[in-house]
């Protein structure tokens, strides 16, 4: 770079070191102090930038990936976007096998980021050769020099957060954190961050947020995979219908389940009270905090760090769209009337 120019050499240098922001109004009636780790500040707008960069750089370090090779993953969500972004800068081909349930907007966004997107039927079983899991596996076997990220079963996912998110929170709170509240999907964020924090202070309580319709909380309590827990829900990125090996259940003290409706309203409330435009699972995490207050989990001296995993812009056609909220039955008549006044 030219002398005297204060520029980053590329966008990847901006991954991590996200801000910790005190929450003020939304927590006014709650016990304790609350700080949000706002992962939407990553250049790809989510915490998944961290795992995309770490897993790809580990593959480079171990000689698995060479320039011009191919990176494969099965997601239309945040991880897909982050992998596509890292692939562009580092010169890899990126293939994403996604479900036909993915919105056209998401597929367009991934294509814009240079990914080759395979749209696979949503209605087939996971072991059907047409499923996105099987398509990804087949492409990985066929393409020489390809890496399958496989975030739910890749322990480098935990390592990425152990290396970055955990130390950042420890440093930003000057070691004063008492509780971590984080959503669990693959479990990489909560497990890696928890492992690091508990090594510094084993008394820090780690609380995972799970969805109704997911098996994680029950598995944590019983170590039993109970298929009766599984039913459809709307929040994306939170909870699961299988047990991911990227989750270290021993590092988590407790899970809290939240509903689609409460989480959607709380995400909207975060925007209105704190001016923080964050995603659906951020609403879920904040909702979990409200429920934990009802159970008297926190005291006036608690320093609670909550991870807000992504930016709100990815949910414009969902929780931030009044029509969608109404279609889900998330507005009562009174709320809609008050909302409508804003448009006059
Ligand atoms: N929130 C969102 C929006 C996500 O995409 C994910 C990832 N599935 C999570 C939370 C959970 O993070 P993790 O996979 O690290 O448990």
What per-residue confidence (pLDDT) applies to 165? 98
DSSP per-residue string spanning 150-166: -GGG-THHHHHHHHTHH
State the closest ligand 1 atom to the C-alpha of 282, by its place in the atom list counted from 1: 1
What per-residue confidence (pLDDT) applies to 46? 97
Q: What is the whole-number distance in angstroms between the Cα of residue 1 and the centre of ligand 1? A: 36
Separation CA 80–CA 78 (nearest Å): 5
Bridge partners for 71 per DSSP: 94, 147
State the closest ligand 1 atom to the C-alpha of 161, by its place in the atom list counted from 1: 15
Residue 99: enclosing H or E segment and its boundaries? strand 93-99
Nearest protein CA to atom 12 of ligand 1, as residue: 185
Phi and psi at residue 44, to the nearest 5°: -95, 10
What are the tens digits of pLDDT across the range 58-74?
999 999 999 899 999 99
What per-residue confidence (pLDDT) applies to 334? 54
What per-residue confidence (pLDDT) applies to 331? 87
What are the tens digits of pLDDT across the range 258-309?
999 999 999 999 999 999 999 999 999 999 999 999 999 999 999 999 999 9
What per-residue confidence (pLDDT) applies to 340? 57
Pocket test for ligand 1, best of 82, 246, 266, 281 (most atoms within 8 A of CB): 281
Q: What is the whole-number distance in angstroms between the Cα of residue 237 and the centre of ligand 1? A: 4
Q: Give the tokens for residue 98.
A: 């996604």
What per-residue confidence (pLDDT) applies to 287? 98
Residue 117: enclosing H or E segment and its boundaries? strand 116-120
The residue count of the chain comes to 344
Nearest protein CA to atom 5 of ligand 1, as residue: 237
What per-residue confidence (pLDDT) applies to 99? 85
Pocket test for ligand 1, best of 106, 185, 220 (most atoms within 8 A of CB): 185
Confidence of residue 1 (pLDDT cuts 50, 70, 90): confident
What are the tens digits of pLDDT across the range 105-160?
889 999 999 999 999 998 888 789 999 989 999 999 999 989 999 999 999 999 99
Helices (H) and strands (E) in the chain, counts: 12, 10
Q: What is the whole-number distance in angstroms between the Cα of residue 77 and the centre of ligand 1? A: 9
Separation CA 74–CA 60 (nearest Å): 20
What are the tens digits of pLDDT across the range 163-176?
999 999 999 999 99
What per-residue confidence (pLDDT) applies to 342? 58
Answer whether residue 204 shows pLDDT above 60. yes
CB atoms within 10 A of CB 19: 12
ipTM for the predicted complex comes to 0.99
Q: What is the whole-number distance in angstroms between the Cα of residue 240 and the centre of ligand 1? A: 11
Q: What is the whole-number distance in angstroms between the Cα of residue 52 and the centre of ligand 1? A: 13
Entry pTM: 0.95
Confidence of residue 315 (pLDDT cuts 50, 70, 90): very high
Measured from CB, residues less than 6 Å from any atom of ligand 1 are 77-78, 183-190, 237-238, 279, 281, 309-310
Show which residues are catalytic.
48
Answer whether residue 335 shows pLDDT above 60. no
Q: What is the whole-number distance in angstroms between the Cα of residue 228 and the centre of ligand 1? A: 23
What are the tens digits of pLDDT across the range 214-270?
999 999 999 999 999 999 899 988 998 899 999 999 999 999 999 999 999 999 999
Pocket test for ligand 1, best of 248, 309, 318, 319 (most atoms within 8 A of CB): 309
Separation CA 79–CA 96 (nearest Å): 10
Whether 255 contacts 216, CB under 8 Å: yes
Residue 265: enclosing H or E segment and its boundaries? helix 260-274
State the closest ligand 1 atom to the C-alpha of 189, by its place in the atom list counted from 1: 15
């Amino acid at each position: 770079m030219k002398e005297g120019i204060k520029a980053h050499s590329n966008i990847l240098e901006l991954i991590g070191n996200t801000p910790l922001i005190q929450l003020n109004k939304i927590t006014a009636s709650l016990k304790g102090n609350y700080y949000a780790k706002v992962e939407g500040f990553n250049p790809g707008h989510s915490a998944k930038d961290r795992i995309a960069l770490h897993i790809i750089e580990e593959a480079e370090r171990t000689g698995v990936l060479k320039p011009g090779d191919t990176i494969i993953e099965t997601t239309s969500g945040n991880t897909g976007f982050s992998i596509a972004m890292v692939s562009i800068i580092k010169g890899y081909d990126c293939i994403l096998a996604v479900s036909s349930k993915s919105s056209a907007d998401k597929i367009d966004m991934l294509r814009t980021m240079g990914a080759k997107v395979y749209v696979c039927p949503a209605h087939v079983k996971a072991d059907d050769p047409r499923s996105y899991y099987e398509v990804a596996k087949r492409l990985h076997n066929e393409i020489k020099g390809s890496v399958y990220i496989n975030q739910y079963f890749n322990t480098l996912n935990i390592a990425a957060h152990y290396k970055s998110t955990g130390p950042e929170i420890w440093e930003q709170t000057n070691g004063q954190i008492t509780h971590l509240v984080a959503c669990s999907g693959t479990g990489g964020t909560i497990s890696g961050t928890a492992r690091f924090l508990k090594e510094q202070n084993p008394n820090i309580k780690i609380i995972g947020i799970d969805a109704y319709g997911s098996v994680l909380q029950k598995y944590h309590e019983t170590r039993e995979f109970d298929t009766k827990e599984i039913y459809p829900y709307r929040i994306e990125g939170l909870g699961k219908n299988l047990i991911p090996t990227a989750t270290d259940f021993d590092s988590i003290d407790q899970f809290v389940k939240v509903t689609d409706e409460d989480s959607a309203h709380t995400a909207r409330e975060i925007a209105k009270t704190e001016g923080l435009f964050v995603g659906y699972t951020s609403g879920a995490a904040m909702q979990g905090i409200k429920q934990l207050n009802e159970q008297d989990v926190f005291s006036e001296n608690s320093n609670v760090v909550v991870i807000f995993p992504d930016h709100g812009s990815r949910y414009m056609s969902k929780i931030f769209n009044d029509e969608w909220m109404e279609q889900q039955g998330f507005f009562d008549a009174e709320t809609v009337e008050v909302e409508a006044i804003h448009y006059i």
